[in-house]
Amino acid sequence: MSKIIALFNQAGGVAKTTLTMNLGYHLSTRQHRVLLVDIDPQASLTSFMGIEPSELETTIYDALVPKDDEQFVLPIDKNLHGMDLLPSNIELANAEQQLIEDVFASVGRLSVESFRTHRLPLLNLPEDILSALRSGQIEYTKAKAIARVKDEETRKQLLEEAIGNSLSLSQIRELIKELKPAKQQEELRTRFDTTYKQAKKAKKLWSDAKKRKQLESLLAKLEKLIAEEK
> What residue spans define the domains of the chain?
16-91, 110-172
* pLDDT for res 118: 63
Q: Which residues pair with 83 in a beta bridge?
A: 80
Q: Which pTM was predicted?
A: 0.48
Q: pLDDT-derived band of residue 120, with 50, 70 and 90 as boundaries? A: low
Most trustworthy range by pLDDT among 75-79, 187-191, 213-217 = 75-79
Arithmetic mean of pLDDT, 85-96: 89
CA–CA separation, 64 and 223 (whole Å)? 67
Per cent of the chain over pLDDT 70 is: 90
83-86: strand order across its sheet: 35-37, 83-86, 77-80
95 CB neighbour count, 10 Å cutoff: 19
Arithmetic mean of pLDDT, 173-201: 79
The answer to whether 180 and 186 have CB atoms below 8 angstroms apart is: no
CA–CA separation, 64 and 67 (whole Å)? 10
Closest CA to 46 of 93, 80, 12: 80
Amino acid at 216: E
pLDDT at 207 over 90: no
* pLDDT for res 211: 82
CA–CA separation, 146 and 95 (whole Å)? 25
